[in-house]
Amino acid sequence: MRKELHFELSEFHNRLAAVKKEMARRGIDILLLSEPPNQNYLTGYNAYSFYTPQMVIVAQDHDEPIWVGRFMDRVSASMTTYLAEDNIRAYPDTYVQSATLSAYYFMAEIVKELGGENARIGVEMGGYYYPARGHVDLTRALPDAEFVDADLLVGWIRLVKSPAEVAIMRQAGKLADVAMKRVVDTVEAGVRECDIAAAIYHQQVSGTAEFGGDYPCCPPDLCIGERSIAPHAAWTDDRLPESTVVNLELSGCRHRYQVNLARTIVVGKPSPSFQDLSEIAIEALSVGLEAVRPGRTCSEVESDFRQALARHGIKKESRIGYPTGIGFPPASGERTASIRNGDETVLRPGMVFHMMPGLWLDNVGITITQSFVVSDTGYEPLTTTPRKLFVK
Amino acid sequence: MRKELHFELSEFHNRLAAVKKEMARRGIDILLLSEPPNQNYLTGYNAYSFYTPQMVIVAQDHDEPIWVGRFMDRVSASMTTYLAEDNIRAYPDTYVQSATLSAYYFMAEIVKELGGENARIGVEMGGYYYPARGHVDLTRALPDAEFVDADLLVGWIRLVKSPAEVAIMRQAGKLADVAMKRVVDTVEAGVRECDIAAAIYHQQVSGTAEFGGDYPCCPPDLCIGERSIAPHAAWTDDRLPESTVVNLELSGCRHRYQVNLARTIVVGKPSPSFQDLSEIAIEALSVGLEAVRPGRTCSEVESDFRQALARHGIKKESRIGYPTGIGFPPASGERTASIRNGDETVLRPGMVFHMMPGLWLDNVGITITQSFVVSDTGYEPLTTTPRKLFVK
């Protein structure tokens, strides 16, 4: 069976060593990873199977991680991870969406096999794929273990990307660029919103002549006309009118690494005030980007940005950036650092952020953004789409 | 502001009445709905915002449901729900992915405002969007309330679709059909896997000349060659060889209602044994479909199917069907009934299932499926793609 690994074994080993080191620091014996990006990071696992219970278990006393999932996905584990077959465990289909059988009991048995009955066990309490009932089942099945919240333990390690990861994210950035170009080419009065969305998906996935894209973590935010002020609205079948605003956030995704990109596209002639607002947004974004440097904090970057906006009398409540990397639905953002007031995370080379200072005002929205990796001296943009208001 | 409602108000009122009746039967005063499909079902809410904490609260003593979400998504709540503005509540952005502030505390305050400090509160313990930490925060903030598991309370009500819902699902079925036709037209030796995936997305979303599609709940399962036995594998950039097997599951999604469809497509000449196996799969599927009738149980339907397979010496472990309806990522299947041995759910007109008796054997997989609605006398297919092995 051909193995589909996108990184050298040494890279997986380094990642595991970093996680075990942090586990040791926190006194965690066994780590139960329910988040698909963390499972992918530590083993390579990639299949759309995380809607049924699935874990990667890291034990201090066990060399490799152990993947646990549904029996029919075992073959994906063999194909996409570097794990030995012994470390791939699968529960039978009778556990799937059953009222009486819990896959978490199955997982608890593996924890016991690892000698974890009295262990200190880390779980991802704030993750998307650790449901309240899973926690109840696990703590019931392991009554003598001590459970501690290890949410984002792996996330903070993932925040700094390796050169091999950055290389993949450059490709993801190219995918975002070609998708945005396709949209700018497609948007015009009379085109159905759904046909614009279809063009985005097509280009995200067909990609370039050199490489294609994966499925994105989330649909494009295609917010048009009245919905241009609703950041996460769904598209409709309506045709674009002669004059309207399109606020679009899309992404490129390569080997599950995601780079995001948003632009505002105006059909017809933008009003002078809208044009002015877009220039303010672009200027503040540039100020924010120029503020990026290793050693500075997220909060300091946000402060520079905020002051640039304030010079024009504009206040923005929400954060202006989040990290991206390995992404699975439902969200592309990592949940660690935020570029926001008070976030004292210190920037380091290899961190990747999407700076997305969308201005969502009462009746108008503008979103012009930039994904970048922190470099040794500043930032390297991951997309090359011009930071401007597109007018069609 | 234009309201985007896809159902009459009376339909929303009927849904709410059914939920309140079931709450009363279980002695539940306040129901906290974290599952996006349930939020959509009861209010119409539709935006891609559920990756931050979001609830719909149903209280016996409060007329309308209350939507609670992130401040920037308030505008989507106004646009897509029938709720009065008083019943749309939003927390500030400082709560988003914060280490110190929990949106669940914000929600607990609303529960208190509804007089729920000592209430019996239903929560969706097994849902995708009720993280373990959310449950901890809520029970801490409401120490005198009694929390009970109300997972699938709304799900079981959703299982029987109204005529208006079935009408939308017929459209979703057409979207699945046109997408499958596009794939069959596209697949041939030399085409990149990612370009097939791109064509699927494009057709799912651009849809037909009459109507377009929404984003699907999950990517197509496009399992090719060696990965044709991995049901949830990701596609690659590889080109199709002269001879290979493509196992594909895709969907059509209209106003968030999803209909699934899977087919096996062979490039080149299928082996006689593969051809035989496909005929067995089709025959067993037909037997399963003919077994569908109001009043029979899911288990009885599965039994007929299983016997049809057994006549050819084949055993299948996994369930052969699941219900679909309103779908949001990560999964399109409702988590209530399964067409499996021992499931005593009685079929009723309006229930929609995807019968998907995929045969995943050791080194070969075949998947030929049928979505249907239970009719007054049997079943009505929701897709018209022929149930056959496609050969290209």
A317-333 pLDDT, tens digit per residue, is 778 999 999 999 999 89
B131 vs A130, A192, A202: nearest CB:
A130
Instruction: List, in order, residues 6 or more apart from A201 with CB less than 8 Å away.
Output: A220, B198, B201, B202, B204, B205
- Is residue B257, in this structure, part of any structural domain at all? yes
- Interface contact A202-B198, CB threshold 8 A: yes
Average pLDDT, chain A: 95
- Is residue A197, in this structure, part of any structural domain at all? yes
> A-B interface: how many C-beta pairs under 8 angstroms?
220
Q: Are residues A322 and A384 in the same domain?
A: yes
Q: Are residues A140 and A173 in the same domain?
A: no
B125 vs A47, A92, A136: nearest CB:
A136
Give residue B249's pLDDT: 95
What is the mean predicted confidence (pLDDT) over A357-364? 75
Q: Can you tell me the distance from the alpha carbon of A210 to that of A199, in angstroms, rounded to the nearest whole number?
A: 19
**Is residue B99 pLDDT above 80, yes or no?**
no
Give residue A316's pLDDT: 80
- Interface contact B195-A206, CB threshold 8 A: yes
What is the separation, in whole angstroms, between the first and last Cα of chain B? 50
- Is residue A4, in this structure, part of any structural domain at all? no
> B88 to chain A: which residues are within 8 Å by CB?
none
What's the pLDDT band for B121 if we cut at 50, 70, 90? very high
Percent of chain A past pLDDT 90, that is, above it, reads 89
- Interface contact B131-A127, CB threshold 8 A: yes
> B214 to chain A: which residues are within 8 Å by CB?
234-235
- Domain hosting A132: range is 9-158
Ranking A133-137, A191-195, A309-313, B155-159 by mean pLDDT, the lowest is A309-313
What's the pLDDT band for B3 if we cut at 50, 70, 90? confident
Q: Are residues B206 and B90 in the same domain?
A: no
B288, B305 contact by CB (below 8 A): yes
What is the mean predicted confidence (pLDDT) over B52-74? 96
- Interface contact B131-A136, CB threshold 8 A: no
**Is residue A126 pLDDT above 80, yes or no?**
yes
- Interface contact A230-B192, CB threshold 8 A: no
Give residue A225's pLDDT: 86
**Is residue B187 pLDDT above 70, yes or no?**
yes
What is the mean predicted confidence (pLDDT) over A71-81? 94
- Interface contact B226-A51, CB threshold 8 A: no
- Interface contact A201-B199, CB threshold 8 A: no
- Is residue A2, in this structure, part of any structural domain at all? no
Interface test with A, best of B3, B6, B51, B238 (most A CBs within 10 A): B51
- For the domain that residue B192 is a member of, what is the CATH number? 3.90.230.10
B7-55 pLDDT, tens digit per residue, is 999 999 999 999 999 999 999 999 999 999 999 999 999 999 999 999 9
Give residue B1's pLDDT: 64
Max distance between CA atoms of chain B, in angstroms, equals 69
- Interface contact B46-A197, CB threshold 8 A: no
Shortest alpha-carbon distance between residue B250 and chain A (Å)? 13
Strand-pair partners of B70:
B91
- Interface contact A215-B234, CB threshold 8 A: yes
**Is residue A174 pLDDT above 70, yes or no?**
yes
- Interface contact B133-A123, CB threshold 8 A: no
Q: Select from A122, A141, A158 the last residue of a domain.
A: A158
Q: Select from A134, A158, A182 the last residue of a domain.
A: A158
Q: Are residues A218 and A290 in the same domain?
A: yes
What's the pLDDT band for B216 if we cut at 50, 70, 90? very high
From A362, which residue of chain B is nearest by alpha-carbon distance?
B75
CB atoms within 10 A of CB A343: 19
From B6, which residue of chain A is nearest by alpha-carbon distance?
A236
- For the domain that residue A42 is a member of, what is the CATH number? 3.40.350.10
Shortest alpha-carbon distance between residue A4 and chain B (Å)? 10
- Is residue B2, in this structure, part of any structural domain at all? no
**Is residue B363 pLDDT above 80, yes or no?**
no
**Closest listed residue to residue A365, CA positions, set A245, A271, A273:** A245
A213-229 pLDDT, tens digit per residue, is 999 999 999 999 888 78
> A54 to chain B: which residues are within 8 Å by CB?
none
3-state helix, strand, coil in chain B (%, to 5): 35, 25, 40
> A331 to chain B: which residues are within 8 Å by CB?
51
- Is residue A206, in this structure, part of any structural domain at all? yes
Q: Are residues A235 and A147 in the same domain?
A: no
- Interface contact B233-A131, CB threshold 8 A: no
Between the alpha carbon of residue A191 and those of residues A385, B4, B171, B214, the distances in Å are: 23, 20, 21, 16
Give residue A318's pLDDT: 78
Q: Are residues B109 and B247 in the same domain?
A: no
- Interface contact A230-B125, CB threshold 8 A: no
**Closest listed residue to residue A320, CA positions, set A291, A350, A293:** A291
Distance of CA B220 to the CA centre of its chain: 14
A338 vs B97, B134, B218: nearest CB:
B97
Average pLDDT, chain B: 95
* Cα-trace Rg, chain B: 22
Q: Are residues B200 and B132 in the same domain?
A: no
Shortest alpha-carbon distance between residue A110 and chain B (Å)? 21
From B52, which residue of chain A is nearest by alpha-carbon distance?
A331
Q: Are residues B256 and B370 in the same domain?
A: yes
What's the pLDDT band for A35 if we cut at 50, 70, 90? very high
- Interface contact B317-A133, CB threshold 8 A: no
Give residue A37's pLDDT: 98
A128-161 pLDDT, tens digit per residue, is 999 999 999 999 999 999 999 999 999 999 999 9
- Is residue B4, in this structure, part of any structural domain at all? no
Q: Are residues A62 and A185 in the same domain?
A: no
Give residue B364's pLDDT: 80
- Token output for A155: 């996330």
DSSP code, position B292: -
- Interface contact A51-B331, CB threshold 8 A: yes
Burial of B143 (0-12, 13-18, 19+ CB in 10 A): exposed
- Is residue A83, in this structure, part of any structural domain at all? yes
A142, A104 contact by CB (below 8 A): no
Ranking A203-212, A263-272, A379-388, B356-365 by mean pLDDT, the lowest is B356-365
Give residue A364's pLDDT: 80
Give residue A17's pLDDT: 98
Q: Select from B158, B185, B218 the last residue of a domain.
A: B158
What is the mean predicted confidence (pLDDT) over A352-358? 92
Q: Count the domains in chain A.
A: 2
**Is residue A178 pLDDT above 80, yes or no?**
yes
In what side-by-side order are the strands of the sheet with A55-59? A88-91, A66-70, A55-59, A30-33, A120-123, A146-149
B146-157 pLDDT, tens digit per residue, is 999 999 999 999
A317 vs B4, B92, B130: nearest CB:
B92
Q: Are residues B97 and B19 in the same domain?
A: yes
Q: Are residues A145 and A262 in the same domain?
A: no
Q: Can you tell me the distance from the alpha carbon of B205 to that of A202, in angstroms, rounded to the nearest whole number?
A: 10
> B215 to chain A: which residues are within 8 Å by CB?
197, 219, 234
Interface test with A, best of B205, B224, B253, B366 (most A CBs within 10 A): B205
- Token output for B177: 């059909």
Q: Are residues B207 and B265 in the same domain?
A: yes
From B334, which residue of chain A is nearest by alpha-carbon distance?
A97
- Token output for A351: 């961190």
Shortest alpha-carbon distance between residue B197 and chain A (Å)? 7
What's the pLDDT band for A1 if we cut at 50, 70, 90? low
> A206 to chain B: which residues are within 8 Å by CB?
192, 194-195, 197-198
CB atoms within 10 A of CB B10: 8
A73 vs B47, B51, B232: nearest CB:
B232
